[in-house]
Structure 1
Amino acid sequence: MSDFDEVTPDALVIGGGPAGLMAAEELSRAGHRVLVADARPSLGRKFLMAGKSGLNLTRDEDDARFLAAYEEASAPLAPMLAEFGPRAVVSWAEGLEQEVFTGTSLRVFPKAMKASPLLRAWLARLAGQGVETRTRWRWTGFAEGGAVCFEAPDGPLTLRPRVTVLALGGASWPRLGSDGAWVGALEEAGVAIAPLRPANAGLAVDWSDHMTRHHGAPVKGVALLAQGDNGQRHLSRGEFVITARGLEGGGVYSISKPVREGARLCLDLCPDLGAQRVAERLGRPRGKQSRANHIRKALGLDPVKLALLQEFGRPLPEEAGDLAALIKALPVAHQGLRPIEEAISTAGGIRWDALDEDLMLRALPGVFAVGEMLDWEAPTGGYLLTACLATGRHAGRAAAARLAGSPKD
C-alpha cells in the first residue's frame, strides 16, 4: 500500500454528499487545502436522486417547532441548527443563485425544482476555493498511526491528513454510496454505534390477488394512526400509494418510526366524520343495493378505500356500529418496514456520547463525523437535508479551528 503521491491535504473529507461538501466549504474558506474523496463515480448522487421529485431544502417554520422534529436528538443538534437552520439554508441556496419558494405545506424548494443546478453551482464554487476531489476512492479504514486507507482506481493507498471528516451517510440507497460499510471500521476503532435501522420507510404488505388492480393507486383523505403500548398516538393525514410490495409515500413515512418500534397501525377511512355519524349513515335502509354499494354511497368511499376495507377488514361486521368502528380504525396487516436499502433515510449511527461537542470522535482525535452517520432521524420535509448541512458546517468549522490551533469561534 503506497502513500498518496501528491502533497497530502490539510483536511480530508470522505463522502461527497451535502454534509461532506459543507464541511469542505468551511475548511477551504478558512484557507486550508481540502480533498474530498468519494467511492462513487461522481459527487452528490443521493442528493441528485432526492431532487428528482422536487428538492425539498428546508421548512419555513418557527425554530421550536422545527427543532422538535428531531425528537431525542434535538438537544445535541440544537446548537448546530441555531447556527445554520432553515433561514440560513435559504440564504445559502440564494448565495448559489438558486431562487427558492415556500409551498403550501411550508416546505421550501428551489424554483428549478431539482438538485442539479444547485449542485453544479456549489461544486464550481468549491473548485474556485481550491477544493480538490477524487472519485472512485473507497475508504477501507484506518491503518497504524491513524493513516486513512483507500482502495482507489490505481490500487490501495494511504493518506495522512491533519484532520479528517467522515461524511459517509447511513445505509439507505446503497447503490448511490450510503451502504453503512463504515460501521465495522469505526467499531474496531472503539467508536460506539447504535444499530442502523430504516427510517422514513414504506410498509411491507403481502396483498391478496384482488389488490393487484390497485397497485400504483394513490390513497387520499385517509388518516393513519400508530398507537404504542405506552398509549402514545401518532397521527398522519399525508397521502400514500399502494404498491406491489406494500405502502409507500409521505403519509406512511411520517409514522414509520413508531411502527418500527412496535406501534399498532390503523387506517381511518373517514377521518372527517365521527364514528356515530358513520354508523348513522351505514344504518340507513339500503334497499336493493349490494352491501358494497351501500357502504360506498353512504360514506362516499372511492374504490381504493373500499378495497382496503375488504383487504384488512373481512369478514365485515353486520351491525352498523361495529362496521363504523372498523372503518374508523381499520387494522393494517403488514410485515414491518421495507428493508433499510429501500428507506429514505436511516436511524442509528455514531452515538452522541462517542462524540465531543465539535462532532470529533473521542476515540479518534482529529477525526470528525457528520450527517446521517450520526445517531439521529427526522421526518421528510426538509429536516433531513437541513441537519446534514448544519452538522457538516459545524464539524468543518471545528476542524478548521483545530488546524489553526485555536478553539472554534
Structure 2
Amino acid sequence: MPSLSAAASAAPAPLTAATRLSLSLIAGGAVANIYYNQPLLAVLAQEFGASASSLVPTATLAGYGLGILGLVPMGDRYPRRSLIVGQLLALAAALLAAAAAPGLAALVAASFLIGVLSTAAQQAVPFAAELAPDAVRGRMVGQVMTGLLLGILLARTLSGFVGGWFGWRAMFAAAAGLSVALALLAGLTLPRTPAATRMSYGRLMASVLDLARSEPDLRRAALTQALLFAAFNAFWTSLALFVEGPPFGLTPAGAGLFGLIGAAGALCAPLAGRFADTRSPRPVVIAGAALTLLAFGVFGLFGGRSLAGIAAGVLLIDIGINAALIANQTRVYALAAGARGRINTVFFTAIFVGGALGASAGTRAFATGGWPLLCLVGGAFAGAALLVPLIEGRPRS
C-alpha cells in the first residue's frame, strides 16, 4: 500500500519492558469489562428476569465485535496512544451508566457500549506488534496477550467476589474507576508513534475488506479462532448458571474462582509465541484446537457431577484457546506491517462474532437441554475449529 511508505521510513519506538507492562495492564484491564457480567448472570436474572442472562452478555460481546470493526482500524490512521486514552475515558462513562441502570433495557444498552469501548484492548495488542522486532514478535505479542488473557479470566473471579459481597452495581462502578486509572497510565507511559497511513475513514474501512479478500491465511486464522471462541463463550456464559444450581449450589464468588484455574492457561501465551517464532504457528493452532475439544469431552464425562472435572476442563480449554490465539496472531501480524490495525479488525471481528454466537448458543443449549447439550454444542464448535488447520495442510514453502 503506497500510503504506508511514510510510516515505513519512521523508526518505531522501542518496545521496552516498561511499555510491555503498561500495554499488558491496559489490554487486560480493558478487555475484563466484557466479562464482568458473567458470574453475575444469575443475580441479574433475579432482578431483571431470565432474559437478562442471555441479553446482557450477548450485547456486550456484540458491541465488542462492532467496536473492533469500527474503531480498531483507526489505530493505523491516528496515534494509538491517543485512541487508547480516549476510549478508556469513554468506557468509564459507559460503566457508570451500567451501574446506575434502572431497568433491563438501559443495562443492555450500556453493556453494548461497554463492549464497543473495551476495544481499547485491541489497540494495545497491535501496538505491541508494531513496536516489536520481527524475530521476537510472537514472544512479545504473547507477553502482552498474557495480560489480556489474565484480564479475561481474572475478571470473572473479581466480579464474583465484588458482586457477591457488594452487589453487581458496585462491580460496574469499581470498573469505571479502574478505567480512569488505566487512561492515566496510558497517557503517562506509552510512546508517541506516527500514523501508518493517511487514508480517509471510508478508504480505511474499504481496505479492511480488501485485506480479508486478498489474504487467505488471514481468513483461515480468523475462522479457526472464531469457532474456538464460540466454544469458549458457550461454556463460560453458562458455567455460573450451572454451578450455582443443584447439585453444586455455589455462590457467585465460588463460580468466579474457576477464573483462577483458567489463569494458569494464560501463562502459556509467551511459550506459544516463542514456538510460533522459531518453528511454525500451524502445529500450535492444531494442538490448541485439540485441547479445546478434549476439554468438552472432560466436561461431558465428568463435569456434570464433579467440580474437579469442571476444573480440569477449564484448564484444558484455556490453555488450548490461548495457545491457538497467540499462534494465529503471530501468523497474521506478519502479513502487512503497516496494516496491523486493519488485520486485527478482520481477525477479531470474526472472533467476537463467533463469541457472540457462542454465548447465545450456549445459553440456549443450557436452557433447552442442560449441561449435556451445552457440552455437545461447545464440542461441535471446537471440532469444526480443529478441521480448519487440518484441511489446510502444510503451508507451502
- The alignment's TM-score, normalised by the length of structure 2, stands at 0.23
Higher helix fraction (1 or 2): 2
Query: Which structure has the larger Rg?
Result: 1
Higher strand fraction (1 or 2): 1
- The alignment's TM-score, normalised by the length of structure 1, stands at 0.23
Q: Which has the higher contact order (CA 8 A, sep 6+)?
A: 2
